[in-house]
Each structure stands twice: as C-alpha cells, then as structure tokens.
Amino acid sequence: MALTQIDRELIEHCLQRKPAAWQAFADRFTGLFVHVIRHTAECRSVNLSQADVDDLAAEVFTAIVANDFRILKHFRGKSSLAAYLTVVTRRITIHALIDRRKLQQAQAELAEMAVNGHNGEFTLENRDHVETLIARLPREEARIVQAYHLEGKSYREISSQFGIPENSIGPVLSRAREQLRKLGTPAG
C-alpha cells in the first residue's frame, strides 16, 4: 500500500510543528506501536509487563522526534507510513530486548561473583552493562566494586589503595550488590 494523502499531510504537519500535529500522530499510531512491541516480544518468548510496553512505546516516540524528526524525514513514501513505522518499532523493540537480556546476564554474573568470589572476568559483552550499573552507584561504592569485581583486587589491595579499613570493604560490597540488583532489575 502506498503513502496516503492523510499520512503525507500528517508527516508534513509534524515536521512543520503545526499545533496538534504530534497529538494526531500519537493518536493514530500508538495502537500500532503497542501491537508491534507485544508481537515482537511474544515472538522472542519475552514476557512484558504493561509498564515495559509503555516504556518501549515511549522509546519509539522519543526515537521518532530525535534529531529533529530524523526518522520521519528519512521516510521516502515507497510504502505506507504504518508499514514503515512497524519496521522502526520492531527494530527499537529488538534492540531494547537484547539490551535487557545483556543486562540480566551481567546482573547474573555479578551475583555469581558475589557468591563464588571474584576473578575480575566478565564477558566483554556484559562488561559494558556491569560498568553502566556500577556508574549508577555512589562514587565511593562504585570505586570499591570496580576494584574488586572488575580489576580483581583483594580487600587488602583495596584498603591500601583507597585508605579505608579492610574490614569495611565486605559490607560496602554487600550494600552495593543490593543496590545494583535494585537498579538493574527491569520492571515486571
């Protein structure tokens, strides 16, 4: 199906930032986005809560308006607008689901290291996610977690490096791990 005149005008009005154009766009395509998000997750055997779906829909809308509506500007009209937005939504959803899976794997590795000791080794893929989680901790805790889990330093080495009592490192790591579990747990 080709681009309809209604959709062509809707795109033009959004790009021109005409009053109510964005609301009309959202009203027209929110249902499509939600359907595509749910279908994409279902095809990958991923259960999403309503909050997850809402978050992903917000990501889609954010992507569409990003960089001065770059996604709409790239639309060439060789298909229906709905078909184009289906592909856009599917890609955003797939990337988000992949990121979620990587985050869960990183959390599992961090939890396993907490139970079985540390060796400073993460898969390269998950190291980025672990570092992202660590960056969300208070500065002092982040430094200690990084030194212990990512750099493989002993309590004695950390104590010496940061000038803190050796017997305070274990409790700091325990609190930090609990915070990481709370910070990194996806909704649902």
- Average pLDDT on 153-176 reads 86
* Residues 7-65: tens digit of each pLDDT: 999 999 999 999 999 999 999 999 999 999 999 999 988 899 999 999 999 999 999 99
Residue 79 sits in a domain of what CATH number?
Answer: 1.10.1740.10
Residue 10 lies in a domain: yes
What is the distance between the alpha carbons of residues 6 and 8, in angstroms, rounded to a whole number? 5
pLDDT digits over 53-76, tens only?
A: 999 999 999 999 999 999 999 999
Q: Is residue 110 part of a domain?
A: no
Asked, for residue 22, whether it belongs to a domain, the answer is: yes
* pTM across the whole model: 0.61
Helix axes 5-15, 81-116, angle to 10 degrees: 60
Q: Lowest-pLDDT range, 75-79, 111-115, 168-172? A: 111-115
In a shared domain, residues 71 and 17: yes
Residue 25 CA: distances (Å) to CA of 46, 134, 157, 166, 178: 28, 38, 57, 58, 42
Asked if residue 105 belongs to a domain, the reply is no
Count: domains in the chain: 2
Indicate whether 155 and 95 sit together in one domain: no
Domain region containing 128: 117-184
92 with 17, same domain: the answer is yes
Q: What are the angstrom distances between the C-alpha of 141 and each of 106, 162, 180?
A: 18, 11, 11
User: What distance in Å separates the CA atoms of residue 169 and residue 157, rounded to the nearest whole number?
Assistant: 11
